[in-house]
Amino acid sequence: MLTYCAGAWPGGDPNAIEVATSALPTGVYNQALHWMAVAHAEAYDYVHSESKNAMMPIVGVSHHVSFTRPYGLFDVAAVTIANSMTLFPFIDSICDKLDFIGINYYGQEVISGPGLKHVENDEYSESGRGVYPDGLFRILLKFNERYKSLNIPFIITENGVSDETDLIRKPYILEHLLAIYAAILMGVRVLGYLFWTTSDNWEWADGYGPKFGLVSVDRANNLARKPRPSYYLFTKVVTTGKITRQDRTSAWRELQEAAIQKKTRPFYREVDKHGRMYAGGLDRPIERAFVLRDWRFGHYEMEGLQDPLSRFVRCVMRPFPCKKIHYIEDDAISYSISS
């Protein structure tokens, strides 16, 4: 998608015709998916046929998934089309050649017109991914429902946030792990979790700008490595197998204090006058303030569609009772139940 449709990743320089026809069976997007599926099937069969020891190999794929939602009423169709292209078709084509399904999840994307909407009161990573732990929970349930008859387990093959300040990263880690735990309680079989990433890295569309690492890399000082505070928090969770209420509260309070003080951090996405973000990164970041919105798992409240008609309907319907969300919290997890 980012190569053959957006042209943001290497190898892709699409023309207008290629972009317009990419969703067709003969389009560049579907052709790329087809040959990736063929290559995976060949590799899967080869790895299994060459296994000589008693332990069978475990072969799967890393499938990038975002939680997408429409900004306005006229964006609903675009989200439906995007999900129909990106959620299940590739996994469907290789589901008989999978020992696990890998999920790469970073956050939510709000669709507005031809691009992604920059929602002012949402929290974002430096690379423009909306922070939304509930999305991982919902994605896991959705994929589990579709493939549970095949008994294929899941691995979270990528999950992380670009955040040079490290203030977002600490609660991001804890809240997404809680989301996974909630999915496990709901019957989703999750074999493992891989955090992206150990140290600051090169991003295809952003270079060395956004900082994803638990460990910082000083490129001006002989590539010196220095663990960030999130490194020690993640180490504690991994070694103890626990997320304490104290750690969760402390990480969140630290971020909220930065938001209250109106502190800023780098943001590597350009936003146009209509509030839409571009797929490519900026060479030099702009500054974006931390937000006060509660995006913790089980606490994020959707605002609904934001077009004038939808806002009017909500205003008219406000006196009438709606379905409410009750939050359940204990020392290990917080999740929501509709009533």
Annotated domain spans of the chain: 1-57, 60-338
H-state helical runs in 87-218 = 89-94, 133-147, 169-185
> Which positions are catalytic?
158
- Residue 109, C-beta contacts closer than 8 angstroms, at least 6 positions apart: 66, 67, 68, 69, 116, 129, 130
Residue 15 has a pLDDT of 72
pLDDT at 335 over 60: no
Residue 87 has a pLDDT of 97
Residue 144 has a pLDDT of 98
pLDDT at 60 over 60: yes
Question: 297 vs 32, which has greater pLDDT?
Answer: 297
Q: Find, among 122, 146, 148, the residue nearest to 134 by Cα.
A: 122
133 close to 297: Cβ distance less than 8 angstroms: yes
Q: What is the mean pLDDT of residues 231-236?
A: 99
Helix (H) or strand (E) holding 70: strand 67-70
Burial 229-238, CB ≥16 within 10 A → b, else e: ebbebbeebe
pTM exceeds 0.85, yes or no: yes
CATH 3.30.390.10 fits 60-338, yes or no: no
pLDDT interval class at 1 (50, 70, 90)? low
Q: Find, among 139, 177, 190, the residue nearest to 296 by Cα.
A: 177
Residue 337 has a pLDDT of 34
Residue-wise pLDDT tens digits, 71-102: 999 999 999 999 999 999 999 999 999 999 99
pLDDT at 332 over 70: no
pLDDT at 9 over 70: no
Amino acid at 19: V
pLDDT at 223 over 90: yes
Q: What is the mean pLDDT of the chain?
A: 90
